Amino acid sequence: MAEITAGMVKDLREKTGAGMMDCKKALTETGGEMEAAIDWLRKKGLAAAAKKSGRVTAEGLVGVAQESNVAAMVEVNAETDFVARNEAFQNFVEAVARLALQTGDDLDALKAAAFPGTGRTVAEELTHLVATVGENMTIRRVAALRVHNGAVTSYVHGALRPGLGKIGVIVALEGRADEAIYALGRQIGMHVAATRPDALNIADVDPAALEREKAILVEQARASGKPDAIIAKMVEGRVKKYYEDVVLLEQTWVHDGESKVRNILANAGATLTGFVRFALGEGVEKEATDFAAEVAAAAGVAA
């Protein structure tokens, strides 16, 4: 029997999109014959993923998990919202979120982790799921937060079932770990889901984004025709308003419409050390398709 090398396994993976262990088994079963191994995988339904790997994945689910002092969140994408309601897909997202509690925010480590009860890695299990369900899927991103003394909490907006939905938020609070701080953490999660802050505090604001904003504000102020000294004060006031829009601690608390988030935290004796917000499919370019043109192309006629 021919020796099965790592290079052969790699080549077969690239040709079929199947998992590493499945490729190794296919080559072993077929004596190292590449074409026969491809056929073996196709017969098992494990090569189907390759044809789907180029499709845009902007649907799916955000999954969160938490235990004691750590919370994790993943976004797993699929092609259609229909798959998000598939029980096998939901179970996969739940399991991956739980695994992220151990692997943290390292996406490569998460994909390489052993998927429970299968003998496959997370990446290989995803390939298997793609072949089973018939849609392209990707594990797009992962985040994790940990505290030493305090609480990690999560919030999922529009949850299909506990911990699974379209928008997820995880929050880390340092302070006394009691019922009140957990309730506050959930409220902060709801606030973040609604207001979409870019940064925790002013120091965390992206300098490039701030400079772009200032340049716009200066031009807007100059259009007023006022003196430079007045323009400077106008820009200063508008930058403050910008911070109130994008910085979590400077935002107005959505739950009462008047307090600042930083004051809510101070009154509770808690320190917000981090937050992460995932909205399903944000930043993914969806393909714009002309359905009539697609039908005409399929029929071989001009649209």
What whole-number distance in Å separates Cα of residue 65 and Cα of residue 179? Answer: 18
| 164-165 and 59-67 strand pairing | antiparallel
CATH number of the CATH domain containing 217: 1.10.286
Mean pLDDT of 12-22: 79
Q: 188 and 172 in contact (C-beta within 8 Å)?
A: no
Taking all residues of the chain, what is their mean pLDDT, rounded to a whole number?
86
Q: 3 and 28 in contact (C-beta within 8 Å)?
A: no
Q: pLDDT value at position 286? A: 55
Q: Do 25 and 159 sit in the same domain of this protein?
A: no
- Would residue 285 count as lying in a domain? no
- The structure tokens listed for 236 are 């200063």
Q: Between 127 and 220, whose confidence is greater?
A: 127
Q: Is pLDDT at 86 greater than 50 in this prediction?
A: yes
Q: Do 31 and 89 sit in the same domain of this protein?
A: no
Return the percent helix, strand and coil in the chain, to nearest 5.
50, 20, 30
Please identify which residue in the block is written with the tokens 């004051």.
263
Beta bridge partners of 153: 171
What whole-number distance in Å separates Cα of residue 185 and Cα of residue 183? Answer: 5
Distances (CA, A) of 284 to 11, 140, 143: 29, 10, 18
What whole-number distance in Å separates Cα of residue 183 and Cα of residue 277? Answer: 18
- Would residue 159 count as lying in a domain? yes
Q: Do 28 and 70 sit in the same domain of this protein?
A: no
Q: Do 70 and 181 sit in the same domain of this protein?
A: yes
Domains of the chain: total:
3
Q: Is pLDDT at 45 greater than 70 in this prediction?
A: no
Q: Quick one: what percent of the chain has pLDDT higher than 70?
A: 88
What whole-number distance in Å separates Cα of residue 249 and Cα of residue 199? Answer: 9
What whole-number distance in Å separates Cα of residue 171 and Cα of residue 203? Answer: 19
DSSP 288-301: ---HHHHHHHHHTS
- In which domain, by residue range, is 226 found? 206-246
Distances (CA, A) of 296 to 286, 291, 300: 21, 9, 6
Sequence-distant (≥ 6) Cβ neighbours of residue 82 within 8 angstroms: none
Q: Do 104 and 180 sit in the same domain of this protein?
A: yes
Q: pLDDT value at position 106? A: 96
Q: Do 48 and 174 sit in the same domain of this protein?
A: no
Q: Do 123 and 161 sit in the same domain of this protein?
A: yes
CATH number of the CATH domain containing 33: 1.10.8.10
Ranking 22-26, 159-163, 258-262, 295-299 by mean pLDDT, the lowest is 295-299
Q: What is the pLDDT of residues 234-256, one digit of tens each?
A: 888 888 998 999 999 999 999 99
What whole-number distance in Å separates Cα of residue 96 and Cα of residue 143? Answer: 12
Q: What is the pLDDT of residues 251-285, one digit of tens each?
A: 999 999 999 999 999 999 999 999 999 999 887 65
Sequence-distant (≥ 6) Cβ neighbours of residue 250 within 8 angstroms: 201, 202, 243, 244, 260, 261, 262
Q: Do 28 and 115 sit in the same domain of this protein?
A: no
Q: Between 226 and 255, whose confidence is greater?
A: 255
Q: Is pLDDT at 291 greater than 70 in this prediction?
A: no
Tell me the backbone φ, ψ of residue 156, rounded to 5 degrees: -120, 125
At 48, the pLDDT band (50, 70, 90 cuts) reads: low
Q: Is pLDDT at 128 greater than 70 in this prediction?
A: yes
Mean pLDDT of 105-132: 94
